[in-house]
Amino acid sequence: MEFKGFQRVSLLDYPGKVAAIAFVGGCNLKCGFCYNRDLVLNSQSMPSVSEEEILGHLETNRNWLDGLVVTGGEPTIHPELSSFLEKVKKLGFSVKLDTNGTNPKMLALLLQKQLVDYVALDVKAPLVKERYQALVGVQANGALDDVRESIRIIRSSNGIDYEFRTTVVPELTKEDLLLIAGDIKGAKRYCLQQFRSDVPHVDERYSDVSPYSFGFLQEVQREIAPNFQICKVRGARLSQVGGAFR
């Protein structure tokens, strides 16, 4: 399997783990606010990282690395993902998968084979065609049904940890965020991620968009927290809610 980036260590991207991060190229969505511009738009022109290099790094550093995060881009559009993760699991590492949820068949296969320990699924917008299309930059068509099915698969799977998360780009209204919270009510963990304007985006116009204030994110967090075991705000100040502040 071919990758387009590799971070040898991260203390932030896999909760509770010291992990490496493998970045795949290409994505089936074109979210204008996405930070990984080159991975989405220009991955074919980026230098490649072989799976042998990644597996070699994991094996060499298995005494202090705990896991591998596979992100992108969108990992599940790559058919060879399953065979790569089998090799990672044989080395004894935990695996976190970042996904947009549009390939429930691949997700179900990975979970059935016990190749993933933690799934982070991005809920881009309310699961309503007009709003979802507006945020993801492509025609939704069957994508909404696929995302709903991925959410169902994750929530019904035993033995995996997971989170749902939304990047709170100001194009999303408070009403939108309340609708998303209703769509995934009862989930274990939901994260509101602060939008950043100081990085390259798939759509350069987002560089001129000011993020919501922390106060706004906190207001939404307070209102939706009872729907989840844990509700977090990321990227503003550290804050965690699980029905009540703690």
Q: What is the mean pLDDT of residues 96-110?
A: 98
- Give tens-digit pLDDT for 141-177: 889 999 999 999 999 999 899 999 999 999 999 999 9
Has residue 91 got a pLDDT over 50? yes
Q: What domains lie within the chain, and their CATH numbers?
A: 2-241 (3.20.20.70)
Closest C-alpha among 238, 228, 235 to residue 211: 235
Q: Give residue 245's pLDDT band: very low, low, confident or very high (50, 70, 90).
A: very low
Return the DSSP state at 72: S
pTM (2 d.p.): 0.93
pLDDT score recorded for residue 236: 56
Which residue matches tokens 């004894």? 92
Whether 46 shows a pLDDT value over 90: the answer reads yes
Alpha helices in the chain (DSSP H): 37-41, 51-60, 81-90, 104-112, 129-136, 143-156, 174-183, 214-224
What one-character-per-residue DSSP string does 183-245 give?
A: HTTT-SEEEEEEP-SSS--SSGGGGGPPPPPHHHHHHHHHHHGGGSSEEEEESSS-EEESSSB
In angstroms, the CA 82 to CA 88 distance is 10
Contact 76, 99 (CB under 8 A): yes
Nearest Cα residue to 87 out of 37, 62, 47, 51 = 51
- Residue 42 or 55, more confident: 55
pLDDT category at 140 given cuts 50, 70, 90 is confident
Listing from the earlier edge strand, what are the strands of the sheet with 230-234? 5-10, 19-23, 67-71, 94-99, 118-122, 161-168, 189-194, 230-234, 239-241
Check whether 237 has a pLDDT greater than 50: no
